[in-house]
Structure 1
Amino acid sequence: MAAMAASSVVASIASASSLLHPHQSFTSRVDAPSTGLSSMRCFRTDQLHHLTASIGTQLHRPCSSGRQVQCTYSDYSNSPDYRSSPIDVVAEVKSQKILVLGGNGFVGTAICKLAVAQGISVVSLSRSGRPSILESWVDQVTWISGDVFLTEWDSLLDGVQAVISTLGLIGPNDQMERINADANIIAVNAAKNAGVPKFIYISVHDYNLPEFALNNGYFAGKRKAEAEILSAFPSTGTILRPGFIYGKRRFNGVDIPLDIVGEPLEKVLAATASLTRPLQNLPASDLLFAPPTSVDEVALAAVRALNDDEYFGIFTIEQIKDMAKV
């Protein structure tokens, strides 16, 4: 009887096993290209994450504009002499590519550095090309020395998803008009004609100045560029209007610590805001009461606008600071 009972148990186990595993073994290798994964296939990043979570994967993601992701997984078998037979799947995952105008300047370098840290492929166009900064991220930017007015835009904008312009100048009135207005307008039209989806512009706060005070090459030039952006990119153009920007500003190879002025001033203005608020509607009052903005906040806001389609239009100092916190 005991032998018969043991035999019955063994038979039951075998039957259950056959139900759970109707085939003796299976493999994840697929030979028919029409029904399975081929050796070369493009994936979205979230698809790769799902693949790795379900079967176990080793990823190698070198940093480049067209990043190559390699994953390895093994056949499965429930046979006693199970042996691994790896299959390599190589997928091309293209990173976002942007063009930064004036990328080696004070604000431009902060934007380039942050974008590189987020895995974005960055090309910079400026008159002097590569900056004299001895940091590793600099090697990951494509630095182009050139003039906006003489640039071959078709090749420069090839594959670019967004242009971020930091172009601006304080100087003689005609030069300010040429750079603040004309140079940016040329870039806007080139980006539009090339089908670039987004344009982001670092402009300037108007400091509550009367209209006649804004009628000069600096402010008027900036406003002309803004108008062109809003016309060419009505739902994907972003204009940031910071006030005084502070941080470590490099000039002739020397870092000028603007933060030792801007940071304390920002804290003082924040602490006295309730007292100064009644005065902020007076003409030109923002020359005293507009809070400074750190260069990192401006960079964060620019990259936020780059990555989030909800951010378009004109953004004030307070809105820039809010964007940087998100």
Structure 2
Amino acid sequence: MTSLSCITSSISVTSSQSSSTPLFASVSGNPHYFLNFSSSSRSKRGGFKCSYAAGSGVKDDSRVGTIDVVADVKAERQIVVLGGSGFVGSAICKAAVSKGIEVISLSRSGRPSYSEPWVDQVNWVTGDVFYANWDEVLVGATAVVSTIGGFGSEEQMQRINGEANVVAIHSAKEYGIPKFILISVHDYNLPSFMLSTGYFTGKRKAEAELLSKYPNSGVVLRPGFIYGKRKIDGYEIPLELIGEPLEKFLSAVQNFTKPLNTLPASDLVLAPPLSVNDLAFAAINAVTDDDFFGVFTIDQIKEAASSIKA
């Protein structure tokens, strides 16, 4: 068996499923091959031709062969969505896929039961943030988006909205993830006794931890009521039938309602609803724009979404 060694050669492989960033590598073997690259999340297949140094005495050979190479093929952007199978999380996963971003979802329910084309392009990992195998989800990621949150008893809300997000923030920082986006909640002008409940104190605890650990790259998105098509136990609940008309109405009369914004709890009625798609694309804007960081209100979220949706 005769083998030919490339004196100087490189390979440029582009994934059709994610980034257009090429992978370069040195190889030995016949001058023409089809090359299979496999990583933990996907396989790559590409063609290459060896270029030989002048005077090497090696002639080009048109023979075609196939070899398999195990390699880490890193997308230009790879995000981890915590709670990716939920209402907001799935919208973020879908938006990321539409922008060619590689996505890993970590959630207790794993892969969603419904079938849509984008679902097959997400790496669905089943797990709990408190007991996660972070090597499986964080290695190679360029950003983490957390949609973790929920209601329950005081203790449960503190744990879900606060402690779970704090654990995720610490883990992302330890793994050197450069950016973290937290889906929080609108700063309602509620009475202090309502803001002291576990839901709000948990969210604010997570915000404070994020801005402390990621002062120049942490993103806090504060939506109010979020509407869209929400799937629960296989049934689709069209929240947009309520949210979309209300959003349009409040936007039309906001100049008249602004003086009322200082009244206690007025935001419960006057804070405009937000489309889940707008929230998702604002999160993707945060992922792709290194200058995007800080705390964002409902209006700022809409603005951020509009600049990237097209």
Q: Indicate the TM-score class for this superposition, using the shorter chain for normalisation.
A: 0.7 to 0.9
Name the SS for the 1:114 alignment partner: helix
Aligned to 1:161: 142
Q: Give the partner amino acid of 1:124.
A: S
| Aligned partners of 1:69 and 1:92 also within 8 Å | no
Aligned to 2:271: 290
Name the SS for the 2:237 alignment partner: strand
203-212 or 251-260, which deviates more: 203-212
Once residues 126 and 184 of structure 1 are traced to their aligned partners in structure 2, the CA distance between those partners, rounded to angstroms, is 13
Q: Where in structure 2 are the equivalents of 1:127-146 lying within 5 Å?
A: 127-146=108-127
Offset, 1:177? 0.5
Offset, 1:218? 0.2
Aligned to 1:223: 204
Once residues 42 and 130 of structure 2 are traced to their aligned partners in structure 1, the CA distance between those partners, rounded to angstroms, is 29
Offset, 1:154? 3.1
Q: Give the partner amino acid of 1:40.
A: I
Offset, 1:224? 0.2
**Residues 182-219 of structure 1, C-alpha deviations (whole Å, 9 max, x = no match):** 10000000000111111001000022113332111000
Name the SS for the 1:94 alignment partner: coil
Q: Where in structure 2 are the equivalents of 1:35-54 lying within 5 Å?
A: 38-41=9-12, 45=20
Inter-CA distance 39–46: structure 2 relative to 1 (3 Å threshold): closer
Once residues 233 and 130 of structure 2 are traced to their aligned partners in structure 1, the CA distance between those partners, rounded to angstroms, is 25
131-140 or 311-320, which deviates more: 131-140
Aligned to 1:94: 74
Once residues 208 and 215 of structure 1 are traced to their aligned partners in structure 2, the CA distance between those partners, rounded to angstroms, is 12
| Aligned partners of 1:67 and 1:92 also within 8 Å | no
Q: How many residue pairs get matched?
A: 272
Offset, 1:150? 1.1
Q: Where in structure 2 are the equivalents of 1:1-326 lying within 5 Å?
A: 33=8, 38-41=9-12, 45=20, 68=44, 70=46, 94-95=74-75, 96-326=77-307
Q: Give the partner amino acid of 1:169.
A: G
Once residues 119 and 13 of structure 2 are traced to their aligned partners in structure 1, the CA distance between those partners, rounded to angstroms, is 29
Q: Give the partner amino acid of 1:216.
A: T
Inter-CA distance 39–212: structure 2 relative to 1 (3 Å threshold): same
Offset, 1:151? 1.1
Taking only aligned residues, the RMSD between alpha carbons, in angstroms, comes to: 3.1
TM-score (norm 1): 0.75
Name the SS for the 1:125 alignment partner: strand
Aligned to 1:20: none
Structure 1 unaligned blocks of 5 or more: 1-30, 49-61, 74-84
Aligned to 2:30: none
Once residues 291 and 87 of structure 1 are traced to their aligned partners in structure 2, the CA distance between those partners, rounded to angstroms, is 65
Once residues 149 and 62 of structure 2 are traced to their aligned partners in structure 1, the CA distance between those partners, rounded to angstroms, is 55
Once residues 322 and 148 of structure 1 are traced to their aligned partners in structure 2, the CA distance between those partners, rounded to angstroms, is 31
Offset, 1:155? 3.3
Once residues 152 and 22 of structure 2 are traced to their aligned partners in structure 1, the CA distance between those partners, rounded to angstroms, is 52
| Aligned partners of 2:225 and 2:272 also within 8 Å | yes
Offset, 1:258? 0.3
Structure 2 unaligned blocks of 5 or more: 1-5, 24-36, 50-60, 65-70
Name the SS for the 1:238 alignment partner: strand
Inter-CA distance 286–139: structure 2 relative to 1 (3 Å threshold): same
Inter-CA distance 97–47: structure 2 relative to 1 (3 Å threshold): closer
TM-score (norm 2): 0.79
Offset, 1:42? 7.3
| Aligned partners of 2:102 and 2:122 also within 8 Å | yes
**Residues 51-82 of structure 1, C-alpha deviations (whole Å, 9 max, x = no match):** xxxxxxxxxxx9x9678585789xxxxxxxxx
Structure 1 runs of 4+ aligned residues shifted over 4 Å read 41-48, 64-73, 85-88
Offset, 1:94? 3.1
Q: Give the partner amino acid of 1:319.
A: Q
* Larger Rg computed on CA atoms: 1
**Residues 117-152 of structure 1, C-alpha deviations (whole Å, 9 max, x = no match):** 212111111111111121111111111111111112
| Aligned partners of 1:107 and 1:295 also within 8 Å | yes
